[in-house]
């Protein structure tokens, strides 16, 4: 399996990286994409990728951190994005639910990072919450940039719009929740060749680990639920999502 979106760079994993990665391996997780959300976390993701086989890094300013995005930060991001084992720009995007950064600044940071991804020929990992129209409009400005809508929580109609543009959808732990009928309906209708799985750890631990600190080993519970919803075997679900993740991030094989 591949956990396509983890935050082992989060302080909650400090001092226990080796144990968490070992548990992931024992659970069958061969690759972890460790996702940055500001400059320090992006640097940490790069350091972890250099320290552990099977770990890769992404770098970027999350919409919550967009208020920190400036020219000096952009220049540093360019340097980070060209480091070994960096496979994407992200997570970037828009979050109008929390509005931790002004919306105009979020859109500015999003566009600049999309342009950087195009320049460096890297894919992007997108966070979008309560900002569907603006997210789609900005993505459409960059038709050559391949996008992954991470921890998808939107409608089936919106998912189909992203898919029609050639992009990918990643599903996380909430698909296992009892009250997740809307997300489950979306998940069962995503073409298997466009589907990725993730934990978004340390957040959103899936059932039966809900309430605990999430970690990459738990991505198997997401895979099990998606196999059930897609009416395929667990093995087929895992094989196809691994192939999709390798293709999307252009991982070394």
Query: What is residue 223's predicted lDDT score, i.e. its pLDDT?
Result: 98
Burial class (CB within 10 angstroms; exposed 0-12, middle 13-18, buried 19+) of 253:
exposed
Interval 91-102 mean pLDDT: 98
d(CA 218, CA 98): 27
pLDDT per residue as tens digits for the range 138-193? 999 999 999 999 999 999 999 999 999 999 999 999 999 999 999 999 999 999 99
d(CA 190, CA 240): 13
d(CA 138, CA 142): 7
**Whole-model pTM above 0.95?**
yes
Over 90: is that where the pLDDT of 14 sits?
yes
Residue 136: pLDDT over 80: yes
State in Å, rounded, how far the first CA of the chain is from the last one: 14
pLDDT score recorded for residue 15: 97
CB 240 within 8 A of CB 1: no
Q: What's the rounded Cα separation, in Å, for the pair 239 and 60?
A: 29
If we measure between CA atoms, which residue out of 215, 221, 251, 252 comes closest to residue 238?
221
Q: What is the pLDDT of residues 190-246, one digit of tens each?
A: 999 999 999 999 999 999 999 999 999 999 999 999 999 999 999 999 999 999 999
What integer pLDDT is reported at residue 63 of this predicted model?
98
Q: How confident is the model at residue 252 (pLDDT cuts 50, 70, 90)?
A: confident
Domains and CATH numbers, the chain: 2-249 (3.20.20.140)
> Given this model, what pLDDT does residue 253 score?
65
């Amino acid at each position: 399996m591949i956990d396509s979106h983890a935050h082992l760079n989060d302080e909650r994993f400090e001092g226990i990286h080796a144990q968490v990665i070992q548990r992931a391996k024992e659970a069958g997780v061969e690759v972890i994409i460790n996702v940055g959300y500001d400059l320090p976390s992006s640097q940490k993701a790069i350091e972890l990728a250099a320290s552990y086989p099977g770990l890769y890094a992404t770098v970027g300013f999350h919409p919550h951190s967009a208020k920190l995005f400036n020219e000096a930060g952009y220049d540093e991001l360019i340097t980070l994005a060209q480091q070994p084992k960096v496979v994407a720009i992200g997570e970037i995007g828009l979050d109008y639910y929390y509005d931790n950064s002004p919306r105009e600044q979020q859109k500015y940071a999003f566009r600049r990072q999309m342009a950087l991804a195009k320049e460096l020929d890297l894919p992007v990992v997108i966070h979008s919450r309560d900002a569907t129209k603006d997210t789609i409009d900005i993505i459409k400005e960059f038709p050559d940039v391949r996008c992954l809508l991470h921890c998808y929580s939107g409608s089936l109609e919106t998912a189909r719009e992203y898919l029609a543009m050639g992009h990918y959808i990643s599903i996380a732990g909430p698909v296992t929740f009892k009250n997740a009928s809307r997300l489950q309906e979306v998940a069962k209708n995503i073409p298997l060749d466009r589907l990725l799985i993730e934990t978004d750890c340390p957040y959103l631990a899936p059932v039966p680990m809900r309430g605990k600190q999430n970690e990459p080993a738990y991505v198997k519970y997401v895979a099990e639920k998606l196999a059930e919803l897609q009416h395929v075997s667990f093995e087929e679900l895992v094989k196809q999502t691994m192939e999709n993740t390798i293709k999307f991030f252009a991982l070394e094989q």
